[in-house]
Amino acid sequence: MTIMCFQHYTKFLLLMLLLGLTCTPPPSDKLPSEQTPEPSFLSLSDDEANTVELVFTLELERSVYRDSDFGDPPQMALWLEDPSAGAIHTIWVTRSTGKGLWLGKIECPVSLPYWVSRYNRETGTQGPPTFKQPVVDAVTGATPTTTLTRRIRVPAGSRWDYYLEINVSGDFNEYFQRIRADGLPDPQENGQPSLIYRGCILASSSADSEPQLIGRTDQWNPTDQIIIDLSGITSAKDLLKSLKVTCTYPRNPIEVNTKHIPK
């Protein structure tokens, strides 16, 4: 019986490898080593004279994702939420999740499920973005290997909650295993589920902020809820080396390519 189960499991893994049925981005979605996405910014205001710029600077611990089964950089999403009006604004999401570009499959529902639920509220859509219905180009890009910088202009004096969701495929451990107790394999090769960080910042010059880890999602199923129980999360907690948000006066608009978030 043990030999037969092993043979079935081996066949399953080989089939997954052949079909590419993992939450793995295509090679074209990964930036070369040491290369980072070109800094750019979005704007939430048409009154440029009364705006400030929020600058998000993120750094990854590369050894964490390199030690995963696939060694691929993580999927990530950054977004703002207005605590008073409830408005949601995606700042940036990795291209595979934002455009539905996966090896051998249409979607990966456990990639960044909490962001997907917020994006659905933001855009009035259902389900994750797809190849036919992707996010707008202004808020997506190739997966960074080390650092990411994003800028967004907001009304001066406004107050924001900001979120980061981040997930590495194949980072299994003894709590989030490849094979469940009932013998079923992880169909997405997810491993430890995505983690969610949250912070808040007042949009005034010289303000700064760093987020706190507030929870996770589910290994097996997409969810729109944050699970605050972090027991069993090991290497995934070390993936984010730092995320700093600073507020500055905008640079000369002539020097930057302005991109407005669609309303």
Q: What is the pLDDT of residue 88?
A: 97
Rounded CA gap, 122 and 116, in Å? 10
Q: What is the mean pLDDT of residues 244-260?
A: 66
- Relative to beta strand 147-155, strand 40-43 is parallel
Residue 234's φ and ψ, nearest 5 degrees, are: -120, -95
pLDDT at 262 over 50: no
pLDDT at 41 over 80: no
Rounded CA gap, 207 and 204, in Å? 6
Q: What is the mean pLDDT of residues 199-220?
A: 96
Q: What is the pLDDT of residue 261?
A: 47
Tell me how far CA of residue 28 lies from CA of 74, 75, 89, 142, 183, in angstroms. 15, 14, 26, 8, 34
Q: What is the pLDDT of residue 25?
A: 66
pLDDT at 210 over 70: yes
Q: What is the mean pLDDT of residues 259-263?
A: 43
- Relative to beta strand 240-248, strand 208-209 is antiparallel
Q: How confident is the model at residue 167 (pLDDT cuts 50, 70, 90)?
A: very high
pLDDT at 150 over 90: yes
